[in-house]
Amino acid sequence: MISFTEENYLKIIYKLSAETESEISTNAVAELTQTKAASVTDMLRKLSEKQLVSYQKYQGVRLTDKGQSFALKVIRKHRLWEVFLVDKLGFNWDEVHEIAEQLEHIKSEELVRRLDEFLGFPQYDPHGDPIPDGYGRMPELGYKNLSEIAMNEDVIMMGVAKHSANFLQYLAKIGLNLGVSVNVQEINDFDKSMTIKIGGISQSFISHEVAKNLLVKSI
């Protein structure tokens, strides 16, 4: 049996792995789990004994296939529940994260299957993140960060790489909803901030930090 806490570690290691090629450091995990490095070391040894991660001391961690499959199941549940909260219960996209953090640990394969069906087999969660399938496979999207887009190229807003309520509320305020068209009008050399046109209508000035966290696809 795999505990609530272990599931959280796996999920976090998975997310860190998605951003880097190399092994994940103890400190990086500690930061996201909101614990101390010493606690992480203990847990990594435990996960390693359970064959969920491969870990050599001082050398960082990596998920094993088994570990990744567990992580993806948790992420699948998290994202399905987010869809439920937004589509069925009418929550805003910035309100669902903490609740889904709890719901993702509910154990019942049948529940997940039925929830998926009830929601109409959604492919994306309310933030545009893809929902892994029941076999633990994550769809590849190939989205780009808005920060990599050239001036005047038309793109569509497809997702966010940052899920804090603050950030999501800010996006909602300037009209940056999923599906709207975005066009980079001007890029400032010194800080890479940019002026963008949203939905062909309104204009906004956004920082590089914001642009890096917006996922878009070319038309």
Helix and strand numbers, DSSP H then E, in the chain: 8, 8
Q: CA-based Rg of the chain, rounded to a whole angstrom?
A: 19
> Looking at 10, 13, 16, 44, which residue binds DNA (CB under 7 A)?
44
Cβ–Cβ under 8 Å, residues 83 and 125? yes
Closest CB to DNA among residues 60, 159: 60
Shortest Cβ 54–DNA spacing (Å)? 12
**Near a second copy by CB under 8 A: residue from 115, 194, 211, 216:** 115
Which residues inside 67-96 make contact with a second copy, applying CB under 8 A? 85, 88-91, 95
Q: Closest separation between CB of residue 144 and a second copy, Å?
A: 35
> Burial code of 43-60, b = ≥16 C-beta within 10 A, e = fewer?
bbebbbeeebbbbeeeeb
- DSSP 8-state code for residue 146: G
Interaction residues for DNA, span 151-210 (CB under 7 A):
none
Binder of DNA out of 20, 42, 89, 114 (CB under 7 A): 42
Give 5's contacts (C-beta < 8 A, 6+ positions apart): 43
Question: Shortest Cβ distance from residue 55 to DNA (Å)?
Answer: 7
Query: Which residue lies nearer to DNA by CB, 73 or 127?
Result: 73
Question: Are 79 and 125 a contacting pair, CB within 8 Å?
Answer: yes
Tell the smallest beta-carbon distance from residue 104 to DNA (Å). 15
Distance separating alpha carbons of residues 8 and 10, to the nearest angstrom: 5
Q: Which is nearer to DNA, 49 or 153 (CB)?
A: 49
Q: Does the protein bind DNA through residue 20 (CB under 7 A)?
A: no
Chosen residue from 11, 13, 20, 27 binding DNA by CB under 7 A? 27
| Torsion over CA: 171, 177, 179, 181 (sign) | negative
217 has which bridge partners?
156
Say whether residue 121 binds a second copy (CB under 8 A).
no
Residues in contact with DNA by CB under 7 A are: 3-6, 25-28, 33-46, 55, 57-60
